[in-house]
Amino acid sequence: MAVLLPVAEALVRVLERAEPLSREFVGIDRAAGRILVEDVLSPVDLPPFPSSSMDGYAVRAADLPGILNVVGSVAAGRPESRSLAAGEAIEISTGGVVPDGADTVVPVEHVCVLAEQVEILAPAGLGDNIRGLGGDIAAGSTVARAGELLTPARLAALAACGTANVTACRAPRVAIVVTGTELRAPGQSLGPGEIYESNGVMLAAVLERAGAIVERAQATEDTEEAHARALESALTADVVVTSGGVSVGPHDLVRKVQARLGVEEVFWGVAMRPGKPLAFGVYGKTLVFGLPGNPVSSLVGCLLFVRPAILALQGHLSPEPAFRPGVLSAAVRQRPERDDFVRATVVWTDDGASLVPILGQESHMIGHTSAADAIVHVPRGEGMLEGGSTARFLRLD
């Protein structure tokens, strides 16, 4: 690991290999969290007719104030075919079609209801309480764009325009291979020298939330045969993520076995802390990530490189980690060789996000990390980032 690759450079090398996967139609009922790969234009105006935003009376503004004859009633979904003449009012519910001839709606609270008439004492403005035809979305305009995430509100906008299916890339299949003879699944009992396996559930959670379909198996023993068996079947996925066994110890076998199986290594070793011995390679179109076993290193590597790749495979236009600006609450020492990703809690103040580094920054400390909200990027350098200086942070939720 003579030359450590700068973090930004490593991300470029990953993303240039992460070509969007093939496209498929997805019913919008199943499309939450997917990424659109084609613009969607609305075939209809929204609202599709001038509609009332209040329960009240549709009238002509020129007749007010005055006493008007009530000549009909409109409910949502039950329009009135007759049009409104001078001196008339039509009762109307929220969402009802404003009848021809009416140019304003007076809310029922401002109306004095008589036998078959209404008295309205105040004037009203033209168009008051009327939602104009196409006022939200005009027919032919773009409702959602290629590369955008299908958020709940975007799904609703698509549904409101009558869109039943969208085009998305198929979800990437990810095989997670955790390595380590010492690892036992939670729920089993621990023998001497054993620990519970915790990276699998963490990596799966990050990647499933990014849209991947994740396959996991039991932890793989640190023998070449066991690694080869696990990797051979994993390499049929779109993305392989290994955990552990990627450093320089005698039992770190992942890279060696991958090379034997034909994985072409793109890089190994990134100028970051935690997570330096991160490996990335390709096997045909399959992207192969080797994350270090220490849980915090694994998490940081996954957020900085694997998650962006999963988004890029789905056609996301800005798959890079979404760092935001904040302010350090206390001084942090920079490291000359490597960018540091310091775990912190975020305290929201009137000036924005205040980033408070947590105690317990060692890369095995997943317990301490679980109390953090963010990782803060401390670029490599010779000095200190003083308290009060700005820094970028990535949320850990």
CB 239, min distance to ligand AMP, A? 17
Choosing from 50, 96, 211, 245, the residue that interacts with Mg ion (CB under 5 A) is 245
* Residue 244 binds Mg ion, judged by CB under 5 A: yes
Residues 34-93 that bind Mg ion (CB under 5 A): none
Distance CA 103, CA 119 (A): 17
Distance CA 148, CA 9 (A): 25
Cα atoms in the 13 Å half-sphere on the side-chain side of 238: 24
Of the pair 244, 357, the CB lying nearest ligand AMP is at 244
CB 363, min distance to ligand AMP, A? 8
Residue 329 near which of ligand AMP, Mg ion, none (CB within 5-8 Å, type-dependent): none
Of the pair 294, 361, the CB lying nearest Mg ion is at 294
Compute how many other C-beta atoms are within 10 angstroms of the C-beta atom of residue 109: 8
> Which residue's Cβ has the minimum distance to ligand AMP?
293
Question: How far, CA to CA in Å, does 15 sit from each of 18, 163, 171, 245, 309?
Answer: 5, 31, 17, 24, 6
What are 293's two structure tokens?
């076993």
- From 13-21, 67-75, 175-183, 338-346, span contacting Mg ion (CB under 5 A): 175-183
Of the pair 42, 179, the CB lying nearest ligand AMP is at 179
With b meaning 16 or more CB within 10 Å and e meaning fewer, what string describes 194-222? eeebbbbebbbebbeebbbebbbeebbbb
What are 18's two structure tokens?
């992460």
Residue 45 near which of Mg ion, ligand AMP, none (CB within 5-8 Å, type-dependent): none
CB 179, min distance to Mg ion, A? 6
Of the pair 71, 366, the CB lying nearest ligand AMP is at 366
CB 332, min distance to ligand AMP, A? 24
What are 240's two structure tokens?
């392989």
Let me know: does 224 contact 251? Beta carbons within 8 Å: no
CB 199, min distance to ligand AMP, A? 3
CB 186, min distance to ligand AMP, A? 10
Name the H helices within 161-266. Answer: 199-209, 224-234, 254-261
R_g of the chain computed on alpha carbons = 30
Distance CA 378, CA 128 (A): 54
Distance CA 211, CA 37 (A): 14
| Helices and strands, number each (H, E), in the chain | 8, 28
Residue 178 near which of ligand AMP, Mg ion, none (CB within 5-8 Å, type-dependent): ligand AMP
What are 2's two structure tokens?
């003579």
CB 253, min distance to ligand AMP, A? 10
Residue 243 near which of ligand AMP, Mg ion, none (CB within 5-8 Å, type-dependent): ligand AMP
Distance CA 283, CA 208 (A): 22
Of the pair 93, 198, the CB lying nearest ligand AMP is at 198
Residues 275-304 that bind Mg ion (CB under 5 A): 293
Residues that bind ligand AMP (CB under 6 A): 178, 180, 182-183, 195, 197-199, 243-245, 247, 249, 252, 292-295
Distance CA 374, CA 358 (A): 10
CB 298, min distance to Mg ion, A? 11
Of the pair 245, 308, the CB lying nearest ligand AMP is at 245
Residues that bind Mg ion (CB under 5 A): 180, 244-245, 293
